[in-house]
Structure formats: C-alpha cells, structure tokens
Amino acid sequence: MRNISVSVVYATANRQWLKEFRMARGSSAAELIDKSGFMTDIDALQNVEVERLKLGVFAQKVALDYLLEDGDRLEIYRPLAADPKEVRRQLALLGKSIGNR
C-alpha cells in the first residue's frame, strides 16, 4: 500500500501548529489527529473530545471518518469566541455594524 503526504494544522490567536506526516493510503482524519499528538500536546485541545472537533481540508468541512488524500491539509478549527449572529444582534441594538464599531 502506497503512503501519502498529509499535514495537520491548528491555530490560536497567538500560535500555529503544523505537522507533516506520511500516512498509509486509506487513513482517516481521526487517525491523523491521533498520530499528530495535538490532543495531548496543545493545552487548548486537552479537554476536548475528539468527536466534538470541527475539521476541514482546505476550508471544506470534513468528518472524522474522512479518508485523507495525498497533499491534504487537515485543519482543526477552534470554537468561536462568540456567536456571530449574537454579535450582529448586539451591534444592531447599539446602532453599529461589524465594519463600523
């Protein structure tokens, strides 16, 4: 079975993590996350259940069972600090908009 080259990334406001791996063809996003060590090495992910992660490949949403392809960059998204709808609602109440704070 031929190996593929993939990477996994995670970012906070202050730091980015990027690791590259050779994985067996047919490996899943979950297997890459496990191999990356991000869930134990990154403080922000230590108390998060893998099943609750939001993932993407080149900004396209994928699930844990997504089968990786050669050259994929698996992105682990952090939770939003605030609900965008709620932020817009609060700004509207103040007579402001996102670009006009």
SS3 sequence, 31-76?
A: HHHHHHCHHHHCHHHCCCCHHHCEEEECCEEECCCCECCCCCEEEE
Residue 73's pLDDT is what? Answer: 98
Residue 95's pLDDT is what? Answer: 81
pLDDT category of residue 100 using cuts at 50, 70 and 90? low
Residues 58-77: tens digit of each pLDDT: 999 999 999 999 999 999 99
Taking the chain, what is the end-to-end CA distance rounded to the nearest angstrom? Answer: 55
CB-based burial label for 30 (10 Å; 0-12, 13-18, 19+): middle
**Domains observed in the chain:** 3-93 (3.10.20.30)
| Full-model pTM | 0.78
